[in-house]
């Protein structure tokens, strides 16, 4: 190989790195997670879990350092969670395994606290390992953190409790009980090698981009019939497997997530759908993802657990974000005919 | 000519009227299937079982065999020989059979990469677990997601290869074809062996 070829190769490498840094800057890098999932309103940062940070270059572990400077880089975060086979055979390992079981089949292993037909992994794939669907290892190092949803600093245990109250339409298990302890041990174990307090590159659901046109219920219905009904059913109520086992989860109705859950927000659902649905072949356009997110979230589901007795009042207090609660769809005010929340066995 | 068109139209309008039922409830056309697929549709040797498959699924396969989109030298002439109404009748018949009880003698599925792929997928490569669409224990979900448990390993392997070679339609929403394309030779051997070793019906072991 001659010198000029080497120069070109080296030049390309430098350019590629510069382009990457620029891209991180433009998309806001990892830190703009907060902004992205905050919805339009700054006061309603439901899922935001940290004080807003200005979009900036990535943290120290990936800061620009020219190869020649010889500067030792901080150890890179683990690129994958540890394999299942690495769970140790001791008491700690048993708690980790129990955490995974609860996460994967919540109704069966933590049924006392679950009020619908969902499991944690329906929204956090591969038992919380998949990076594109809000993985546990990306969440663990970021708590305790302030959450505007309840306006105080939440530790990880409280964050987990919130999932039971809203996404699982259930009741919060006690923070020192086995369920929360097992889920914490499991998350801690998955997060091995993730730097504490440093926003991971991938966290939450990936950004979906603004819809070219305002989301439409009618277009969303078409997207649903063509891309979702096969699995989730024409009526959105999911399907059971042959023999009654876990099939496809319900998207609305009394056995799905309630009006307080993050997934009822159009922007959050659009991000999830764009990244992960249809299962195994997520190929919708941004517009389709927003349209169908609006459609599935324009149906009744269990009441917001913070319900004050009036839909209008509840909407004003807790729904200053991109959601349909309290809005009129097909002549009905969503929330007025909601089945009760927290219907644990 | 016109008369034939009218008759054809009538056939399409009243498919079941033209499916002769034998006294036992099985349409006459199903009689020829049992030689290979077993009297209760439970399969035999290398031939796949039909019991547990959904009506829409069976119908779709027979149409695809007949048109050649699903390439198979044995089933093509058989499916082509069935009229529209006969295809519908056998689909209704086989989808309505209740599964035979699980074979207690079936060996425990081998632990290893096949089991991992079946139960957990390979999400680092965006590949879901097979059981997410084929149900716990590979027992199937609804009309469109066929059971895999207890099918002959060679048959399962052939199907996965057929998708990769373009010899079988990708199925509803192109889902299955898209999965098969991303499996390599070792994967499909391992995962086919895993599902073949599971009992065809009844309670399957969980994870």
Which structural domains are found in chain A, ordered by start?
Answer: 1-76 (no CATH), 84-190 (1.10.760.10), 217-333 (1.10.760.10)
Chain B contact present for A235, CB below 8 A: no
Average pLDDT score, chain A: 84
User: How far B168 CA sits from the closest chain A CA (Å)?
Assistant: 18
Residues of A in contact with B126 (CB under 8 A): 132, 280
- DSSP one-letter code for A81: P
Average pLDDT score, chain B: 85
For residue B47, give the 3-state DSSP assignment.
strand
**Residue in A closest to B134 by C-alpha:** A241
For residue A154, give the 3-state DSSP assignment.
strand
Segment A189-200, tens digit of pLDDT: 999 999 999 999
For residue A147, the surrounding DSSP H or E stretch is strand A145-147
pLDDT-based confidence at A277, cuts 50/70/90?
very high
Beta carbons of A245 and B132 less than 8 Å apart: no
Using CA atoms, how far residue A86 sits from A7, A83, A192, in Å, is 44, 6, 11
**Residue in A closest to B126 by C-alpha:** A280
Which structural domains are found in chain B, ordered by start?
Answer: 2-95 (1.10.760.10), 113-196 (1.10.760.10)
* Residue B13 confidence (pLDDT) above 90: no
Beta carbons of A281 and B173 less than 8 Å apart: yes
Taking a contact as any Cβ pair under 8 Å apart, which residues of chain B between 16 and 55 contact chain A? 52
Give the pLDDT confidence score for residue B17 in this predicted structure: 35
Average pLDDT of the segment spanning A152-162: 97
Q: What would the DSSP string read from start to end of chain B?
A: -HHHHHHHHHHHH-GGGGSPBPTTSSBGGGGGTHHHH-TTS--BTTBPP-TT--HHHHHHHHHHHHHTSS--TTHHHHHHTS-HHHHHHHHHHHHHSPPPPP-TTPPPPPPSHHHHHHHH-BGGGTBPPHHHHH-GGG--BTTTB---TTS-HHHHHHHHHHHHHT-S---GGGHHHHHHTT--HHHHHHHHHHHHHS-SSSPPP--
pTM of the model: 0.86
Give the pLDDT confidence score for residue B16 in this predicted structure: 36
């Amino acid at each position: 190989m001659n010198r000029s070829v080497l120069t070109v190769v080296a030049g390309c490498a430098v350019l590629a790195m510069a382009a990457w840094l620029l891209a991180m800057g433009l998309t806001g890098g990892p830190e703009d997670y907060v902004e992205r999932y905050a919805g339009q309103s700054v006061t309603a940062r439901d899922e935001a879990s940290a004080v807003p940070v200005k979009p900036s270059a990535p943290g120290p572990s990936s800061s620009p350092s020219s190869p020649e400077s010889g500067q030792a880089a901080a150890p890179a975060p683990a690129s994958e969670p540890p394999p299942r086979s690495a769970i140790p055979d001791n008491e700690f390992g048993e708690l980790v395994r129990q955490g995974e079981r609860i996460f994967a089949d919540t109704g069966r292993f933590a049924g006392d606290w679950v009020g619908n037909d969902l499991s944690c992994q329906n929204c956090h794939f591969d038992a919380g390992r998949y990076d594109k669907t809000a993985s546990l290892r990306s969440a663990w190092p970021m708590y305790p953190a302030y959450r505007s949803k309840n306006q105080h600093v939440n530790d990880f245990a409280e964050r987990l409790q919130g999932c039971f109250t809203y996404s699982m339409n259930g009741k919060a298990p006690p923070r020192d009980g086995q369920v929360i302890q097992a889920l914490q041990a499991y998350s801690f174990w998955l997060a091995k090698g993730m730097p504490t307090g440093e926003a991971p590159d991938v966290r939450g659901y990936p950004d979906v981009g603004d819809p070219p046109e305002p989301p439409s219920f009618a277009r969303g219905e078409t997207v649903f019939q063509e891309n979702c009904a096969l699995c989730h059913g024409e009526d959105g109520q999911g399907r059971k497997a042959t023999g009654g086992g876990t099939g496809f989860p319900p998207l609305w109705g009394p056995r799905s997530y309630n009006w307080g859950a993050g997934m009822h927000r159009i922007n959050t659902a659009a991000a999830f759908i764009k990244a992960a649905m249809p299962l195994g072949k997520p190929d919708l356009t941004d517009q389709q993802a927003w349209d169908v997110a609006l459609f599935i979230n324009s149906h009744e589901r269990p009441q917001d657990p913070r319900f004050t007795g009036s839909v209008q009042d509840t909407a004003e207090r807790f729904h200053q974000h991109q959601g349909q609660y309290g809005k009129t769809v097909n002549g009905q005010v969503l929330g007025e005919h909601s089945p009760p929340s927290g219907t644990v066995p | 000519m016109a008369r034939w068109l009218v008759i054809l139209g009538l056939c399409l309008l009243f498919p079941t009227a033209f499916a002769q039922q034998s006294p036992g409830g099985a349409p006459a056309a199903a009689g020829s299937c049992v030689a290979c697929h077993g009297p209760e549709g439970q399969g035999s040797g290398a031939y796949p079982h039909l019991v547990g498959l959904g009506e829409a699924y069976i119908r779709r396969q027979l149409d695809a065999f007949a048109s050649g989109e699903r390439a198979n030298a044995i089933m093509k002439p058989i499916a082509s020989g069935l009229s529209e109404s006969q295809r519908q009748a056998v689909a209704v018949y086989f989808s309505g059979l209740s599964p035979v009880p699980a074979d207690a003698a079936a060996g425990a599925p081998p632990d290893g990469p096949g089991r991992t792929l079946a139960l957990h997928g390979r999400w680092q490569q965006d590949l879901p677990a097979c059981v997410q669409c084929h149900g716990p224990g590979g027992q199937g979900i609804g009309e469109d997601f066929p059971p895999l448990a207890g099918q002959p390993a060679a048959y399962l392997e052939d199907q996965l290869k057929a998708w990769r070679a373009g010899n079988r339609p990708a199925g509803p929403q192109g889902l299955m074809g898209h999965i098969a394309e991303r499996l390599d030779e070792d994967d499909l051997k391992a995962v086919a062996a895993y599902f073949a070793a599971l009992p065809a019906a009844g309670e399957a072991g969980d994870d």
